[in-house]
Each structure stands twice: as structure tokens, then as C-alpha cells.
Amino acid sequence: MYSFKFADADAEIEQIHRLNYVAFVEEIPQHAPNPERRLIDQFHPENTYAIGLEEDEVVAMLALRSQRPFSLDKKLTELDTYLPPHRSLCEIRLLYVQPAHRNGKIMKGLMEMVAVYAVMHGHDLALISGTTRQQRFYKHLGFVPFGPLVGSGEARFQPMFLTVNAAMRQAPWVQALQGEPGDATMYNTYNASTGENIAGERDVSESSVQKQAADPPLTIYDPPVNYLPGPVNIPPAVMAAMGQPMISHRSGKFLEDVASLQARLCAMVGARHAEFLFGSGTLANEAVAGQLSLLEGRGLVLINGEFGQRLADMAQRWRLRFESYAVAWGDTFDLTEVDACLAADPSIGWVWAVHSETSTGVINDLPGLAALCRSRGVKLCADCISSLGVVDLALGDLYLASATSGKALGAVAGLALVFHNTTLAPAPERLPSYLDLGSYRQAKGIPFTMNTNLVYALALALDIFGPRTYGLMAHHGSELRAALRKLGLWVLASEEVSSPAVTTIVLPPEVSSVEVGDGLAAHGFMVSYQSRYLAERNWIQICLMGDYRVDALPDLLRVLGHLTARSRAVPEQVAA
């Protein structure tokens, strides 16, 4: 049984000097022999030693150091130009394990101590000169090589870095030390066999507490955490389904499975029929536009964001006859005014709107629109691409609704979904065959070649996300928005019309959305900020879609708080 600690006893320090001799004189000939068979490191007064013990014997060690210049500074000119974005560096040196104890448990324990040290001192990146003899071993631990080799002769080393998050994958319990800045509880000794602390608490000095409170450590996530509206994070089991052997899309089994999935989705949203098209959500909207082109009369397209504007653009491309009703981005539709538009033009026979406007994070009043259109005898179509799987949908009163497999449901993008509640006849003389929903219904849902694994991945995603309630998602979104407001940031959508899944943040002019987005990306947070319409308005978005992570949100907020520190007041207005 091993235990791990930071060396503080004279006997432990003496053993470290002797291990240092064995490692870097006898095993790696970096220093000349001496009769005392002990080697005191040149940075010994500045080193913190993490050691692995078997009873009282030091069987493994490494040295940690925070003070620059590091040893690599002397070997690589312009060291920082080789490194990824980071906040604070430390150095790992003198890593050595006695041959009889070179096993996974020892290395796990040492990586835990690296993580503890980094958290205690606010570091997010550690450097090491890894011997060329053990490169595969270092990479297995999470170290990433950079720059040219250093050293000479048999003592050749590869400069490498390790993110603190990579170290924490060996030590998830260390994340408990990342609480409020200045927490005074730090474990000094850890039992790798039982997972128990065996040395009680270690007090952090007042100066250390004050330093952390003034400048708390910021985490770098590697691999990055996905808070995009798409592509979203997909559960491993769903991705594994995509790697299975495909079957014939004409087989009886596949037709049965498609019918079963269609019925399941229809029951989920209260629609009569669902069609699968092989493509994106935009393709689903194209199919909706195609059906609208078959109708007599004019239409009304509602616009309060980028994706409402795209519906209008699509209607124009299809040469539909329509009017537009637009309100400011971030506002929702006034149903009284929509009713007035319908009353003013009795030739309007259809309305097309976005339910969840992805560009702003606004949820429009779909039940209210449905009731209004029903009372006027008008067909309602809705883009539900960013609301399916986010909020409870009731599509029974809609003419057509579009969605996709690749957003909140957490499946793989590639299936366009169209829900409908009437019997749609094929229109071979008026519609392209690929967009003719009547032909899909006539062919039992599969008129053309389809990637069968997309269907099975979607079915599996529904199984995985089934237990996640809409209430829980609403809670996560509400907590995120409250935390953002606490940082002094402006959430565009008002609370009563906010989507749980899409939060749009309006940054003040003095804080660049691109710089903030780049800064978040450097810390391993993938947020939406590069779309033209976001960059033009100085907005960023945090999206909770697919297999999103809640546990990393506190770290994201801490980084965001630092990047937007110049913003201390909510701006008064935003241009539409």
C-alpha cells in the first residue's frame, strides 16, 4: 500500500537526494558520480517534493517549482511562444520511480499530487523535460510534446506540457479543492489504495489566501467542453451506434424500426405524422416551404431574429407570396399585432415562425400562435429545430413543424424531421422529388437511400435522454442566467421568454465578443461567437444542448468573469 505526500521530514529529504543520484547519475548519465552517492538539486531551496512512500521508504518522487526562470527557460529561448494559452505555469522535475515500483498506482498518486500543488498555487499548466526513453509513458499520462529536443548525448529530453485538467483525470477528488478562492483545506497526504486522507488538514498561509482571493486560478479543460448550439456533444453510446454495420434501408426490419421511431416522436410532440429526410434542419425547412408553395393564398412570416429572417429568405427563394411581421431581436411577438395583420389581409392562409429563436435565446409563444391561427382558420408552420427536446411541445394544431436529430436530442446530425397533421399528397409536377413530403408518406417514410445508423442513433439518443426532464433543463438554464446577471452581464432574452437551452449574452462595446470567445476557447470552453450575426452585435452564446455538462459551468463562469472584468454595469440598450 502506497501513500503520497509533500516531503517535509529530514529523513524524506535525505532519501530524495539519494534517489536523485540514482536517477540522474547512474540511470540517466546527466551528472558526474561522487563518493557520497547523493545529488542535491540546483533548485533545492525552491522545490516542493511530492513523494510516494511504501511504509517509510521513498519509492517515487518528483519536484514542483513555481519560480521562473525554469530549467527549460535556459534550454529553449522564447519558451512561452511554444505553449498554449495559459494563466500560470509551474515546473515538474526530477520524476523518478524505483524500478520495482513502476506501476499505474504510483503514477496515479504522483499525478494527484501535481494536481493538488497546481490548485494550491493557481497554476493551469505544468512543464517537464521528459526523457526520450519514456515518451510513450509520458503521453499516456497526458503530457503533450512541444518544441525541439534539449540536452545532449544520452541525456536527451523532450519539452512537454501537462494541463491541470489532464492531471485531474487521475485525481477527480482534487476538484473539491477548487471551491471558493482562499479555501484553507488542502490534503497533505493521500492513501492511493483506500482513497482516504491520512494527514488531516493543511492550513494555507494568509498571504496565499489573499493572493488566491485576488486572482483565483482558472481551469483549462482538455478536451474542450461543448456549449455550442451545434454540433452538440453526443453521448459515447450514440456515437458507437454510428459505427455498427449498416443494414439495407429497404429491409422489412428497417421499415418497422422507422415506423416505430416515427410513432415515438409523434407521441412525444402530439403530432400525427413524422417524416425523415436525409439532411440538416435547413432541409426540413425547405420541405416546409415546398408544401407552402402548393397552397393558395398569401402567407405571413414572423421575424424576431436571424432564423426568422432565414425563413423569410427561404420564402423569397421559393417565390411564395407573403408579408413579414418583424420585431426587434430579443423581443417576442405581440399576438394582438399578429392578429391585426391577419385581420387586415383575409387572403393570408398560412403563418410561418420560429419557435425557439436560436440567435437570441427567445422562446416564442407557440401555443398562443396556434390558438390564434386556429381561430382565424389559418395554417401554422413552425421551425422547432432548437426547441424539440428542450421544452414540452404540443404540435397537434400545427400544419407543419421542422426539427433535426442534431441538436437538443443529442443524436448525430443528418436527419431532418418534419411533423405534420394532415394527409399530404405527392406533388410530382410541382415539387422536387427529394422535398416532396407526400412521396415520403406514400413510400412508408423511406423513398430514397438513407443512412440506417442515423435512425438507430436517434432512437438510442431518445433512450438516453428520456429520464432528463424538461423541468431539470429549465432549472439549469435559469441557474446559468442568474449567475451571468450576478457577474454584471446582460442576458438578452427576458426571463419569462428565455429558452433553457440558448443563452445570448450582450457584451458592452468596450469588451470584444471575439476576444472573449477566443479567451474561453483557450480555456477549453466551446461557446458560440463566430457566427456573422453574433460578431456584428458583439454577442456570445452559451448553449445547453445534447449531452451538455453542468459540472463545468462554474469554471466557465469564472473564466468569463475574468475576461469581461471591464464590464461592471448592465448596458442600457442593444441595437436590433
3-state secondary structure of 417: strand
Model pLDDT, residue 103: 81
Model pLDDT, residue 211: 30
The arithmetic mean of pLDDT across residues 547-572, rounded, is 77
Three-state SS for 352-373 is EEECEECCCCEECCHHHHHHHH
Beta-carbon contacts of 246 under 8 Å, excluding residues fewer than 6 positions away, are 451, 452, 453
pLDDT, tens digit, 9 for 90 and up, residues 96-131 = 999 999 887 888 888 888 888 888 888 889 999 888
* Between 197 and 161, the higher pLDDT residue: 161
Model pLDDT, residue 195: 36
CATH for 247-465 is 3.40.640.10
- Sequence-ordered strand ranges (E) for 266-404: 273-278, 298-303, 322-326, 348-354, 356-357, 362-363, 379-383, 400-404
Count of alpha carbons within 13 Å of 507, Cβ hemisphere only? 24
Q: Report which DSSP code applies to 140.
A: H
Model pLDDT, residue 170: 52
* Between 574 and 97, the higher pLDDT residue: 97
Cell numbers placing 325:
411581421
Cell numbers placing 408:
437538443
Say whether pLDDT at 273 is over 80: yes
Say whether pLDDT at 3 is over 90: no
Cell numbers placing 394:
404540443
* Between 233 and 155, the higher pLDDT residue: 233
- Weakest mean pLDDT among 23-27, 218-222, 242-246: 218-222
Contact in structure between 431 and 237 (CB atoms under 8 Å): no
3-state secondary structure of 134: helix
3-state secondary structure of 218: coil
Model pLDDT, residue 457: 93
3-state secondary structure of 325: strand
| CATH 3.40.640.10 in the chain, residue ranges | 247-465
Helices (H) and strands (E) in the chain, counts: 18, 25
**Residue 250 backbone phi and psi in degrees, to 5:** -100, -5
Model pLDDT, residue 94: 92
How much is the pTM? 0.65
Cell numbers placing 98:
524505483
Task: Give the type of residue at 212.
Answer: Q
Work out the pLDDT band at 169, boundaries 50, 70, 90. Answer: low
Say whether pLDDT at 152 is over 70: yes
Model pLDDT, residue 218: 54
pLDDT, tens digit, 9 for 90 and up, residues 63-86 = 999 999 998 998 888 888 888 888
C-alpha to C-alpha distance for 122 and 164, rounded to whole angstroms: 10
Say whether pLDDT at 417 is over 50: yes
Of 3.40.605.10, 3.30.70.1400, 3.90.1150.10, 3.60.15.10, the CATH number of 225-232+468-563 is 3.90.1150.10
What pairing do the DSSP bridges indicate for beta strands 348-354 and 298-303?
parallel
Say whether pLDDT at 185 is over 80: no
The arithmetic mean of pLDDT across residues 6-30, rounded, is 91
**Residue 219 backbone phi and psi in degrees, to 5:** -85, 145
| CATH 3.40.630.30 in the chain, residue ranges | 2-214
Cell numbers placing 139:
503521453
**Residue 187 backbone phi and psi in degrees, to 5:** -75, 130
Work out the pLDDT band at 198, boundaries 50, 70, 90. Answer: very low
3-state secondary structure of 316: helix
Say whether pLDDT at 562 is over 60: yes
| CATH 3.90.1150.10 in the chain, residue ranges | 225-232+468-563
CATH for 2-214 is 3.40.630.30
Beta-carbon contacts of 453 under 8 Å, excluding residues fewer than 6 positions away, are 241, 242, 243, 244, 246
C-alpha to C-alpha distance for 287 and 281, rounded to whole angstroms: 10
For 150, the enclosing helix (H) or strand (E) is strand 150-152
* Between 8 and 300, the higher pLDDT residue: 300
Work out the pLDDT band at 132, boundaries 50, 70, 90. Answer: confident
- Weakest mean pLDDT among 71-75, 178-182, 266-270, 363-367: 178-182
Work out the pLDDT band at 360, boundaries 50, 70, 90. Answer: very high
- Weakest mean pLDDT among 127-131, 307-311, 337-341, 525-529: 127-131
Say whether pLDDT at 239 is over 80: yes
C-alpha to C-alpha distance for 411 and 405, rounded to whole angstroms: 5
Work out the pLDDT band at 210, boundaries 50, 70, 90. Answer: very low
Beta-carbon contacts of 418 under 8 Å, excluding residues fewer than 6 positions away, are 274, 275, 277, 284, 287, 288, 400, 401, 402, 403, 437
Q: Got the DSSP string for 496-545?
A: GGB-SSEEEEE--TTS-HHHHHHHHHHTTEEEB--SHHHHHHTEEEEE--
